[in-house]
Amino acid sequence: MIGDRAAIDIGLLLAGLAGEAETAARLGIHPAELRELLDGSALSRCTMMPVGVGDNLDIRFLDMAGEAFDAPTFDDSVGRARSRAGGRRTFSLPANAIAGAEPPRAAPDGIILHVGRCGSTLLCNLLASGGDWVALREPECLNSLFLARAATRDPAAIDRIDTLAGQLAGCLAHAVRPRKSLVKLSSWTTPLAAPLLARFPGTPVIVVVRDPWQTVASFLAEPPHWYGPASAQLAASERAGAVRFFAEAWRSTVTAARCLPGKRIMFVDYEDIVGNPAATLAKLRSHLGDDGPPLAPAALEATLASYSKAASAEVFDPSGKHRRAVLAPDLAEIVTAVTAGESLGCRCR
């Protein structure tokens, strides 16, 4: 029977936070015996990834082997994995064990920041459609850590949370090797993302933007989950306040992104993604250091023809179901007042 300390050591190994030789030494066995142990318990075939954060910041891991990560969000893929017959291996690791482990054995190959409703999901789909990249979209485990960070003023707690976020981002990248990993953060986390980016100084960053009027119009037509309970069509009395809130969210995201070190930051505009996707994708891949062959035209066209946020294949209908929302003039004036200066600045970057 494996003791608690040994279970933690094996968990760190499976998470990509410890090496085989180091783990075997801690267990007092030969590496060959460790491999035999993992093979005998079928753990060597698992792809353990962080999927949740507990009350004490303990981290839950789930076997995600076989997942394509082609769902709209990472947690949609987690739900799909959990629903499959046969059950999935799962375990939790204490926060202090993860924070005290060696640095992750992999780093994300790219990180996406964005203002929301801006084509970032489409960009992930385009990059992933070639097969060499895996897009890990808005993992809730990272969102939970960002929320915990925002809720404390204790420097020690903040440092611990920042360390955990860096470790988990590395775990995500490690799990999908040998494919390249693109970690897309949730839009609201951008003002909190600088410490995470600092832990991966060699990772290129893409910032996806869209003009604030279109972004806010989309949020108003279909409020995001982070806005809180709201009907799909906000009451007239709520609309002005919601517009101001969404405009402030856009402004804070762009302001934070513009303050990031410029050399590894690439700004991408929604209009470029939809207007010239092939050229935009080529620039993006160059920024990410991907010198592979260009995406086949058929794969590009198939991705563009599908609605990017659909959980399954759904034809994109820009003139009908998926047509762009438009703000009324009085609401557009609110957006203009809130975002003045930043809307031009993000394009000049």
Rounded to the nearest 5 degrees, what angle is found at the Cα of 16, between the Cα atoms of 14 and 19?
A: 90
pLDDT of residue 349: 47
Q: Are 206 and 273 in contact (CB under 8 A)?
A: no
Q: Which domain holds residue 204?
A: 104-348
Report pTM: 0.93
Domain annotation covers residue 73: no
Q: pLDDT tens digits, residue range 274-300? A: 999 999 999 999 999 999 999 888 889
Q: Which residue has the higher pLDDT, 225 or 283?
A: 283
Domain assignment present for residue 210? The answer is yes
The band of 265, judged by pLDDT with boundaries at 50, 70 and 90, is: very high
Which band of pLDDT confidence, cut at 50, 70 and 90, is reported for residue 123? very high
98 part of a folded domain: no
- Return the pLDDT at 45: 94
On the question of pLDDT at 83 being above 80, the answer is yes
How confident is the model over 82-108, as a mean pLDDT?
92
User: How many domains does one find in the chain?
Assistant: 1
Radius of gyration of the chain (CA): 21
Q: How far apart are CA 12 and CA 102, in angstroms?
A: 9
| CATH code (residue 298) | 3.40.50.300
Q: What is the pLDDT of residues 22-45, one digit of tens each?
A: 999 999 999 999 999 999 999 999
Residue 65 maps to a domain: no
- The answer to whether position 18 is within a domain reads no
- Residue 119: pLDDT band (50, 70, 90) is very high
How far is Cα 62 from Cα 48, in angstroms, rounded to an integer?
A: 5
| pLDDT number for residue 348 | 45
pLDDT of 293-340, one tens digit each? 998 888 898 898 888 887 556 877 666 677 778 999 999 999 999 999
Q: What is the structure's pLDDT at 137?
A: 98
Q: Is 19 within the bounds of a domain?
A: no
